[in-house]
Amino acid sequence: MICFDVLTIFPEIFSCYLKFGVVGKAIQKKLTEVKVYNLRDFTLSKHKKIDDYPYGGGSGMVMQIEPIYNAIVEIKKDQIKRRVILLSPQGKLFNQEIAKKMSESKERFLLICGRYEGVDERVKNFIDEELSVGDYILSGGELASLIIIDSIVRLIPGALGDELSAIEESFMNGLLDYPHYTRPEEFMGMKVPQVLLSGNHAEINRWRIKQSLKVTLKRRPELLKNLSPEKIEIFKELCSEINKKTLEETDEPVNN
């Protein structure tokens, strides 16, 4: 069973999220376990202080190594093997491939949520890796850890109501997701594509692949690699349609 330990100074952030949605249901089904630890419980400071001014000067505060080290040691006393991960802007960029590998590893993960200007550099001697959820700044690692937990838990067999959902979602096939439609069939003149109403599952599947390729080409072209022979064929067809449309739009009558 894939389990998570989370080390944070704001455990209250997790209490609500872990009760609902896919993660909440997975916890209820005992498909996963998430334990949240308050970092302040592991400091020897009288005032539960876990940060201090940086050596060398500068703005902001830095999380101290002692509380984090004490927490890691205490949490590991149960002798259960864990992969210790620091959520950090300097970490490896987390993506669906990493989520899949983590979901298949059956490991227990200890996620350390950084705050302020960062953590004492010496903490890195007691972790296994650093992960980042994107090239942007967050107030702390709490949201990042929830992103990682959610993306991994939804890949656990039984966590989703429809097992095909996880397979068909964006990035699982290396592409962005195709458009989705539901009732009503027509809204303010906007109609559901006829192919989706045809009942022809082969044509529907082909349409979805083409639409997935189309949106990926437009928004994330770098993902268009290692396509299967079927997708290459459909991609060629898509490119031909795009080129034809472009020519039609730019073809102007010549005045003699």
Question: pLDDT tens, 66-93?
Answer: 999 999 999 999 999 999 999 999 999 9
Whether residue 251 is predicted with pLDDT greater than 70 in this model: the reply is no
* Structural domains for the chain: 2-153 (3.40.1280.10), 186-250 (1.10.1270.20)
* Confidence band for 165, pLDDT divided at 50, 70 and 90: low
Mean pLDDT of 107-136: 95
* C-alpha distances in Å from residue 186, one per residue of 139, 203, 211: 43, 21, 20
Alpha carbons 5 and 42: distance in angstroms, whole number: 15
H-assigned helices in 106-192: 141-153, 163-168
Residue for token pair 């594509």: 193
Burial class of residue 9, CB neighbours in 10 A (0-12, 13-18, 19+) = buried
Alpha carbons 5 and 7: distance in angstroms, whole number: 7
Residue for token pair 């009558």: 253
Mean pLDDT of 190-201: 95
